[in-house]
A and B are shown apart, each in its own frame.
Chain A
Amino acid sequence: MKMIPVETTINGDRTEFLCNSDESLLDVLRDRLGLTGAKEGCGTGDCGACSVTLNGRLVCSCLVLGVEVDGAEVETIEGMADGEMLHPLQRIFIEEAALQCGICTPGILIAAKSLLEKNPDPTDTEVRYWLAGNLCRCTGYDKIIKAVQKAAAEMRAA
């Protein structure tokens, strides 16, 4: 079976790849494109560590086939910073110790960024429910919620 050619845009860059029909977008990002920022924590859409945005929508890349992103725009954690400039969420996560082992961090940052684009002034409850699909086992979520709120405040003021 020949592999399927796909043309897409990843973090603003035109990207072409070949993949098998049953490979997930996560498999493609990690194994074919060297974009290992998205992580496989479960492969079944239950942990959110593979989160990316697809045409502006937050999704689990393990639940999208590689072939489905033909003609689409994908944003991963590797595209969140602007060269040397970290996104406020990234910088504030470090400042507020909102990560420990960091394996869930790329997924949570992508998810939080997506939230703040949709709702720049969420309540703590809204943040928690939005992030319910991003499992973290190290932090107990507390510092994550605080960091998201601090970044949201900074972004609103900007």
Chain B
Amino acid sequence: MALDHQAKRDFKVVGTRVARPDGIDKVTGKAAYGADITAPGMLFGRILRSPHAHARIKSIDVSEAAKAPGVKAVVTSADLASPDDEYYADIRDNCLAREKVLYDGHAVAAVAATSKAAAKAAIRLIKVDYEILPHVTDVDEAMKPDAPVVQEGRALENVPAGMSQNVTSHFEFGHGDLDAGFAKADKIIERTFKTAATHQGYIEPQACMASLGTDGRGEVWCCTQGQYMVRANCAEVLGIEASQLRVISSEIGGGFGGKTTTFIEPVALALSRKSGKPVKIVMTREEVLRATGPTVSTSMDIKIGMTNEGRITAARGELRYQGGAFPCGTVEFGAQAAFAAYDLEAVQTLGWNVMTNRPKEIAYRAPGAPTSIYAVESVVDELCQELGLDPLDVRLLNAARKGTLSAYGPTFNEIGLVATLEAAKAHPHYNAPLGPNQGRGLSCGFWFNFGGNTCVSLNINDDGTIGVVEGNPDIGGSRASISMMAAEELGVPYDKVRTVIADTTSLGFNDVTDGSRVTFAVGLATIKAARAAIQEMCKRVAKIWGIDEDAVLWEDGFAKPSGPNAGTHPPMSLAEIAAIAGNTGGPIAGHHEVNADGAGVSFGVHLVDTEVDPETGATKILRYTIFQDAGKAVHPDYVEGQMQGGAVQGIGWALNEEYIYGEDGRLQNAGFLDYRIPVASDLPSIETVILEIPNPGHPYGVRGVGETPIVPPLAAISNAVSRAAGVRMTELPMSPPRLLKAMSA
């Protein structure tokens, strides 16, 4: 059978709406999440955290805590290893502070005790002698030459001399002659924007159970987006061999990027090694907000020039992102994504990363892009208003297409931006009437999507069912989609396929579940593994029939002779082949390991109608429609779910979510009461329109879809509010006090 890499275009299973395999466990409460397991002899871990935004640790006295009733181990940074690699050293220092505490909530020490109450009491007996240092939490303040320095010597070579040591890196992208471009513009708008940090807001706090022996063999159960990442981080931070550590990913109660690193697992392992018992640590919501990984907060300058007809002639962006107390590269993504939707002759984006006394940033759904695209789409919209042009027409006029040299370097292949813009233009939402104090806004959105290291093992079980073994925690319904792709490729019903997420001992390395990569890369690897299994099955059948391998083809779940020359043989089903596998050579499987590339970018457009109460600044979302290119929607329900979920996170980011720090550098709103994520009554129904412009890099045309939806809401809502209230908000969130103040000005 020929194994061309050919794209499939009509499907039997892919594109249908099947039931997910984890559904029953989740609706009955049986599904086991990070905090849901126990072990015999288990101890409870608890972490002592810094109450200061910045301080030198002069001494830590754990003697009283170690003697407290029920306490079996106390650890500090001294109990961790010293990785050479700066990347792992930062993770180690973030898990337990070494010489300085760098943010309010930074972990300093931990105890393991026989009960939660004993651990809680013991923590209070740890005496830390702090020398409080000046702190800085604002991104612009932190760049000033006289700002308190968070860490010394962390700047990369490309940072110019004379800047604060807090500035660690600098990126630049673009092409063309900016001056000439701006000279051609009929109108130029230049604006500065500021956005506050937000948090992924997963409802499940981090939780783990760890067990580590003095022989270096251990096991971790945790909610994570990547068990292999946990293994690697823990091995480096504990100074043990990675393959001796078995990491099992539980069901995960939300990640959105926030669980692509480790906070508590190395600490739990250290406590376990010291105490000789399994140790369970569960973060509280307060700890999650104070001391996991929020997004960057930003300060951005955008300048765009446009002709009277709406053609963008030049665009420039300077982005300043703070990623907390350790160097962070998110501004690079922000700088790359900022103008990605546009076909530009002259474009430049500069990015700076700055350290502050805040928790270490980690990914949140399209990291870096929501903020930079918010700024760009706001200026584009303002230009449309000034020039009296239709915002959709202007996007269409300037849209990136196949063959466009993108602002960040690559030339686009087939992309779906124009299709989404045209769908938006044709949709009844775009021309629906609006009432008083109401306004409509739109924004484009974009995410690169990634491929990455992926391993899949596919077993043809002797009962004719299929077992797919993959290594990526399921955060969006991917087990169902993977099973669907296997079923599609093999030609068997969906309910014959069972996809499981293996622990680290079962497969080679898998990159974390991020970058909207799983449906694309694990899907691709599954398809290839299925093809390998098909090839083996055909080989077995060829032997049975006494013909060449090439003379057997696979169709709709059966091995068949490929033509009249192959002879007359009744087709053999997968189940029949599987049943006799032992007699034809042994169990049948296929596998595939790859660092997948060819991920297709995903563009989206969001339309939103808002109503602003002129007397209070309260913004109501009246109507919301999402258009997004999925390449091929394997399971349309789950694609819709990603679109709606991401959009609502963006709505929260635009309207109410923000990290609020006091003058003392301490986080003031470390709870769901005052870190305000959208609730059900805040929202209308959200309509979704899926476009399918196949990605040539995937056998079925799949594009990642999970991240793009969080990008457009910020500007779409700001643009809608601009038309509803007559003010342009350049600071996020557009909370009522800020909006009312702007309207009253």
- Chain A residues in contact with chain B, CB under 8 A? 20, 27, 30-31, 35-44, 46-47, 49, 76-78, 80-81, 86, 90-91, 93-97, 99-106, 109, 124-125, 127-129, 131-145
Contact = CB atoms under 8 A, between A and B. Distances in A.
B637 A97 contact: yes
Interface stretch (B6-14, B22-30, B146-154, B293-301): B22-30
12 contacts: A37-B30, A41-B672, A42-B671, A93-B23, A101-B475, A103-B33, A103-B253, A140-B641, A140-B644, A140-B678, A141-B678, A143-B637
Scoring B20, B205, B645 by chain A CB atoms within 10 A of each residue's CB, the highest score goes to B645
- Tell me the dominant secondary structure on chain A's binding face: loop
A47 B671 CA distance: 10
Contacts of A90: 27-28
A77 B649 CA distance: 27
A46 B672 contact: yes
A94 to B, nearest CB: 4
B644 A143 contact: yes
B252 A101 contact: yes
Given A39-B203, A42-B671, A97-B641, A137 B677 contact: yes
B327 interface: no
Given A41-B204, A103-B204, A77 B29 contact: yes
Contacts of A99: 23, 26-27
Contacts of A38: 29
Contacts of A30: 35-36
B22 to A, nearest CB: 7
Contact of B202 (A77, A102, A105, A137): A137
Contacts of B32: 36
Contacts of A125: 681
A86 B641 CA distance: 23
B673 A95 contact: no
Nearest to B637: A97
Nearest to A35: B29
B681 A129 contact: yes
A143 B641 contact: yes
B683 A141 contact: yes
B180 interface: no
A103 B28 CA distance: 11
Interface string B525-549: 0000000000000000000000000
A101 to B, nearest CB: 5
Contacts of B284: 43
A31 B116 CA distance: 10
B680 A138 contact: no
Query: Lowest 3 A-B CB distances belong to which pairs?
Result: A37-B29, A103-B253, A102-B26
A20 B118 CA distance: 13
Contacts of B200: 137
B27 A145 contact: no
B28 A80 contact: yes
Given A100-B475, A139-B645, 13 more contacts: A40-B282, A47-B672, A81-B28, A86-B24, A86-B28, A97-B20, A129-B680, A131-B679, A132-B681, A136-B203, A140-B683, A142-B685, A145-B685
Interface string B162-190: 00000000000000000000000000000
B98 interface: no
Interface in B657-697: 671-673, 677-681, 683, 685-686
A97 B36 contact: no
Interface in B291-309: none
B614 to A, nearest CB: 23
A135 B679 contact: yes
Interface string B199-214: 0111111000000000
Contacts of A31: 116
Scoring B25, B32, B251, B681 by chain A CB atoms within 10 A of each residue's CB, the highest score goes to B681
